[in-house]
Amino acid sequence: MHLSPSIQKRDSPNEILRARMEKKPSGRFTFLKTQQENTCQQQVQNNRDRIKSNLRGIEFWQQIGQILHILNRPLPVTKDQIEELLDLGKKLDIEINTMDSEFICPNTKEFHENYDILEVLGEGCLGLVKKIIHKTSQDLYAVKIVQTQDDEIIRNFKRLIKLSHENIVKVHKLYVDFDNSFQSERQEMFVVLNSLGHYCEADAKEIFKQLLSAIEYMHRNGICHRDLKPNNILCVNNKKQIKVTDFNVSKFSDSYKEFGDLKDREKIEMWTYTGTVAFSAPEIFTGEGYNQMVDMWSAGCILYSMLSGQLPFNADYLNDLIDNIKEAKINFPVELFEGVSEEAKDLITQLLQKDWALRPHPDSALKHGWISEDQKLLESQRKGMIQDQF
């Protein structure tokens, strides 16, 4: 009820009661308005009309704001960009529609045209995070740069773009470089082995030389991969070239800066139990620490698999497998190694030594007779050709 000043004339209690209640046949009561309440209702209505008038003004400015927002929007993507994006979706078997073109760009050219890359903010398992600045607005952002063949990253982005919360990082746009990140001709060595059964010795030799060269480079720069296996080796260029990948559990050390020669510093000390059991060296399971020579053990397992299509150590149970690895007893079944040279088996035996100190370093392994044999033959042939010319 409206409260009036005390000087205003009031209705008597009887008048109020009589005015407000009137018995109806239905047995219900209806409330009738007094003169004072009519005046109050009029004031309420006047207030409502004034509020509506103000709201119309607000709506007008909201419309103006929407127009300005549209005018300030970046130019829409072109028809060619949309077609390129839809084609990307077909290649990766991902559902991409025209609405996604506002948030997903099928190339990185636009990114480099609009942003300057600044310092590194962080480094994770999958890539780098760098600070970037928009060339026109000078707004600062963070960009995550990932090199992957997993199309799940696009699906995850489509989920993240829908999130908008003040306590959750906001993603704005995804730039995809298909040519460099989603090459269909790249295959894991594991897939190639499953297809071939095993490599012929000549091909295995050429590819294994590349692996030893990669390991030598890593160790020389203070990096121990710790998870070398066929799944982490990509085969490219018609399967004749390899690329080591997946450094998720690798150890990066700066100790190499203090020493000139790989053998002088001898080892990168580690204690973390990690890697894939079937390709792990015996010392990893002792708990007494290990060094970068675990990579050479893994290389021996890989070479064994390349030539035979099987693992050097097998067991039905994990504990039994670990025990077999710790014993380090190597067998070369005739049915698996028929036709494989003794030199190849000798290199495998050296790499799979139980004592890490007896394993060859990668530079020494590259000089092993099985690998250097063809190189010496080529050098002698070149010398013969030179002598013939004279």
Q: Which residues are catalytic?
A: 227
Of 302, 300, 296, 295, whose CA–CA distance to 199 is shortest?
Answer: 302
| Residue 270 · residue 291 · CB < 8 Å | yes
Please give the biggest Cα pair distance in the chain.
Answer: 140
| Residue 370 · residue 341 · CB < 8 Å | yes
How far is residue 224's CA from residue 104's CA, in Å, rounded to a whole number? 36
How far is residue 208's CA from residue 230's CA, in Å, rounded to a whole number? 11
| DSSP E strand stretches across 240-295 | 241-244, 251-252
**In angstroms, what CA-CA distances link 5 with 1, 38, 39, 132, 232?**
13, 16, 14, 66, 87
How far is residue 98's CA from residue 84's CA, in Å, rounded to a whole number? 11
Q: Determine phi and psi for 46, rounding to 5 degrees.
A: -60, -40
| Residue 214 · residue 223 · CB < 8 Å | no
Q: Give a three-class secondary structure readout of 132-200.
A: EEECCCCCEEEEEEECCCCCHHHHHHHHHCCCCECCECCCCCEECCHHHHCCCCCEEHHHHHHHHCCCC
Q: What is the DSSP letter of 66?
A: H
**In angstroms, what CA-CA distances link 317 with 301, 313, 314?**
19, 12, 9
3 state SS of 270: strand
- Compute the half-sphere exposure of residue 234: CA atoms within 13 Å on the CB side of its CA: 14
How far is residue 268's CA from residue 218's CA, in Å, rounded to a whole number? 12
